[in-house]
Structure 1
Amino acid sequence: MPEYGYFLSCEEFGPADLVEQARMAEQAGFTALWISDHYHPWNDAQGQSPFVWSVIGALSEAVSLPIETAVTCPTVRMHPAVVAQAAATSAVMTGGRFRLGVGSGEALNEHILGDAWPPAHVRLDMLEEAIQVMRRLFTGEEVNHSGTHYTVENARLYTVPDEPVPIDISGFGPKATSLASRVGDGYITMMPQDTMVEQFRKGGGGAKLVSGGTKVCYGPDREEAVRTVRKLWSNQLLPGEMGQVLPTPSHFEQLEPLITQEMVAENTVCGDDVDDHVTALKAFADAGFDRIYVNQIGPDQRAFFDFYRTKVLPQLP
């Protein structure tokens, strides 16, 4: 049976709010946490973007839930040797309850140092090499590496957990899913598609952890909830590769008129209909996901957790 977790949004909330939401999630009965890793929010209306590794340190003291980044890009903005140190320390601070979710990233976050933003196939090659480097560092042994994309000299992590940090790979298409099935300790995707889960499992993933997530907007006024989603998260409905290649929040804001109220209402669970919320999460369970994370869009967090604690989570398998 799947577990249900809460997805903390660093794009919308500052550190203190995220820690308080994690406490409420644990009290409500959620059993795991995801947390996004961004340098920028998707738009200025979201308004936040704290450094995820500092927040994870605070979370490790505030709650006892497993924590995973969803997801970190260990290839351009941060060298994989530095990400490995951050992940290893997080695993130690959480007593082994940390997983490193990784992906090929977005220009929105990764181009800030002026590096060229590579095409998708190069980004996947970089991600695979980065994972190799991080896994070697998690052993606590000295690492020297001279690869296509990265060089590491005399690097050793002295603070490491008893077991290597599991690395789950995000994939939204067949190539990334193939990479996850070959080298990942688990698979992450945001759509309840059984075909992607099947590709991962048959491609070598077997019984490894498959995690998925979705965003909702709980509230007593459905139309107001739809407006909130359109204001804050219209970017999630943009088609194609725009989410990966647009470089700044202002570029995403320029495309907001393309996303109508009707599109939001058709594609995002909004309002207080219990069946709508249950159905959205059951879709992931029916597709074979092991962990399913949900994020509440907007400021009404406490009411959301009360709603899920009393009405939604008790109806889920």
Structure 2
Amino acid sequence: MRIGYTLMTEQTGPNDLVRYAAGAERAGFAFEVMSDHYSPWLAEQGHSPYAWSVLGAVTQVTERAELMTFVTCPTMRYHPAVVAQKAATIQALSGGRFTLGLGAGENLNEHVVGRGWPGANVRHDMLAEAVQIIGGLFDSSDGGYFSYEGTHFRVDSAKLWDLPETRMPIGVAVSGAQSVRRFAPVADAMIAVEPKADLAREWDAARPGPASRKIAQLPVSWGTDRDAAVKRAHEQFRWFAGGWKVNAELPGPAGFAGATQFVREDDVAGSIPCGPDVEPIVEGVREFAKAGFTDVALIQIGGDQQDGFLDFAEKELLPALAGESA
């Protein structure tokens, strides 16, 4: 099990994100993932810088840690041809440390360009075309140009002029059997947020070749005062309790505030490790390991809590997790 750190754009401004990225590498995290949002989930989170600008800066303050988007929607706010260009640039800047994480997106971030919000099946069709386009641009850029005409996208004589030495892997976010069957054959890694063993098994069964990486994310609210940690988790992360079928549909922070108005602090504390202890976090990671995941990226809730968490991770948490997998 490889342990990563989440650079959560919804709760931290760009300068601090870059600083925390360097700190996470020093603390010993194996990889770092970054959310790619136009809006925070809740107004209390208070941030949402442009992820790709921040990633460019992060490549220059880190040397070892792998980097990844978790995740980018390449269908509405961004055209897939532009996502391919951005990914190629980050892979080159990072010296081959980048994985492009893709997903079907959320209304929260994609409606801002005024194209509405299609149903889930249409979003999956759009994502499938986007994966084809991104792959096609990397395959054809050894001298040729790439064109494409599908149901949802067209590409006219495009070429990636600055290719990295190593083609970056592509991960795709899935939530059930339908998305697993569709994307396992064309992706290098699986991305999910729940420790469901069926997802991991079906993913490996649906794709050719050896078993691939399966990357998860676990929110935690570390802090020396457990009551304060629970309150912070409730204030900023109660949206997480809605599940992705709900979270993908709501259009803005006001909607999430309304949908979560009856979520209690105890509800959040029951699903998110809160407080100063190592063991609840280790147990959360253990659940993903049992389900067949290979990587877990931790989210420390609270933009002003990162320095303390990174110190805790270096001295206590990461050694404990290393012992767990030894």
TM class by shorter chain equals over 0.9
Deviation at 1:250, TM superposition (A): 1.1
Residue of 252, 255, 271 corresponding to 1:251: 255
Number of the residue aligned with 1:287: 291
Residue of 292, 301, 309 corresponding to 2:306: 301
Number of the residue aligned with 2:173: 170
CA deviation profile, 1:265-294 (whole Å, cap 9, x unmatched) = 111100012111111112222222221110
Tell whether 2:137 aligns with 1:133: no
Report the count of equivalent residues.
316
Deviation at 1:249, TM superposition (A): 1.2
Number of the residue aligned with 1:199: 202
Provide structure 2 residue ranges, at least 5 long, that are not aligned to the other structure: none
Number of the residue aligned with 2:161: 158
CA deviation profile, 1:133-161 (whole Å, cap 9, x unmatched) = 01111131311111111011111110111
Number of the residue aligned with 1:30: 29
CA deviation profile, 1:102-161 (whole Å, cap 9, x unmatched) = 000001000111102111011111101101001111131311111111011111110111
* Counterpart secondary structure, 2:299: strand
CA deviation profile, 1:17-56 (whole Å, cap 9, x unmatched) = 1111111111111010000000111111111111111001
Q: Distance in 2 between matches of 1:180 and 1:187?
A: 9
Q: Could you tell me which amino acid in structure 1 is paired with residue 246 of structure 2? A: M
Contact 1:80 1:133 in 2 (8 A): yes
1:261-276 counterparts in 2 under 5 A? 261-276=265-280
Q: Percent identity between the aligned chains? A: 38
1:1-317 counterparts in 2 under 5 A? 2-64=1-63, 65-139=65-139, 140=141, 141-204=144-207, 206-239=210-243, 241-298=245-302, 299-316=304-321, 317=325
Q: Distance in 2 between matches of 1:179 and 1:191?
A: 19
Q: Distance in 1 between matches of 2:185 and 2:283?
A: 31
Contact 2:128 2:183 in 1 (8 A): no
Deviation at 1:256, TM superposition (A): 2.5
Q: Could you tell me which amino acid in structure 2 is paired with residue 30 of structure 1? A: F
Structure 1 pair 190/240, CA: closer, same or farther in 2 (3 Å)?
closer
CA deviation profile, 1:155-197 (whole Å, cap 9, x unmatched) = 1110111232211000112212222312111100011221211
Q: Could you tell me which amino acid in structure 1 is paired with residue 46 of structure 2? A: G
Structure 1 pair 213/51, CA: closer, same or farther in 2 (3 Å)?
same
Contact 1:100 1:166 in 2 (8 A): yes
Q: Distance in 1 between matches of 2:183 and 2:308?
A: 36
Contact 2:278 2:320 in 1 (8 A): no
Q: Distance in 2 between matches of 1:73 and 1:153?
A: 21
* Counterpart secondary structure, 1:99: strand
Deviates more, 1:174-183 or 1:32-41: 174-183
Structure 1 runs of 4+ off > 6 angstroms?
A: none
Taking only aligned residues, the RMSD between alpha carbons, in angstroms, comes to: 1.2
Contact 1:96 1:161 in 2 (8 A): yes
Q: Distance in 1 between matches of 2:243 and 2:60?
A: 39
Deviation at 1:203, TM superposition (A): 1.4
Deviation at 1:240, TM superposition (A): 6.0
Q: Distance in 1 between matches of 2:163 and 2:138?
A: 6
* Counterpart secondary structure, 1:122: helix
Deviates more, 1:186-195 or 1:201-210: 201-210
* Counterpart secondary structure, 2:216: strand
TM-score, length-normalised on structure 1? 0.97
* Counterpart secondary structure, 1:132: helix
Contact 1:81 1:134 in 2 (8 A): yes
Q: Distance in 2 between matches of 1:33 and 1:289?
A: 16
Contact 1:238 1:259 in 2 (8 A): no
Contact 2:72 2:105 in 1 (8 A): yes
